[in-house]
Amino acid sequence: MSVPTTATHEGLPVGKLSAYLDWVQMLTGAALILFMWSHLILVSSILLGPKVMNALAWFFEATYMAQVGGPLIFLTFLVHFVLAARKIPFNTKQQRVMLSNAQRLRHPDTWLWVVQAVTAMGILIMGAIHLWVILTNLPITAEKSAARIQSGFWFVFYLFLLPMVELHVGIGFYRILVKWGFVDRPGRWTLKKKENLLTAIFIGIGVLALLRYYFLPLK
């Protein structure tokens, strides 16, 4: 009579390993949500004037938070993406099954996951480009940012990146609270409305900041 065995990976039961990876994915996701909201607020300081934005940029560089924090954020982003990619369909057949299931289930939260999976791919590529451009052209100043955005290409680039990031972050915030039991089922609708409003506000602030950079006079 054989004794049932439990599948293991590097000494850990597969189920427990998956739970640990989900936990790390949640923590890195939460860290990135806080970073992106803080980043948008800091970038949008241009609405208070170039001097305010330059003072904040100087502080982050003088304390080496930009030089050290930038690579750390990118590393956190990569870890989060790799862990999330375990559940993202990459081949055409899997994508068709995913869309078919979403259409059949007709559940809003399923479509939210689809949107999050799609935006993740765009953010991976465009976010890496953005970080590379910023970290290879320090120090950050309002004038440099304005000159880049006024080139035309970058203005369009950020018009696409901004809503992708805010949608991904907003949905991620909602799904973390739901998945990990911070919000019960009756409270989901209220949370979703608040999350949609918050996402719309952040996108609006981001668009205003982009316009301010675009029309900022350059010396």
Annotated binding site for heme b, which residues?
Answer: 39, 80, 130, 168
**Type of residue at 124:** L
Cα separation values, 159 from 136, 142, 152, 156, 171, Å? 22, 18, 11, 5, 19
In the chain the first and final C-alpha atoms are separated, in Å, by 84
Q: How many CB atoms lie within 10 A of CB 131?
A: 15
> Number of helices (H) and strands (E), helices first, in the chain?
8, 2
Q: How many CB atoms lie within 10 A of CB 115?
A: 14
Element (H, E) at 173: helix 153-179
Cα separation values, 129 from 65, 110, 116, Å? 20, 29, 20
- Alpha helix (H) ranges present in the chain? 14-43, 50-62, 65-84, 92-105, 108-135, 142-149, 153-179, 188-214
Annotated binding site: 39, 80, 130, 168
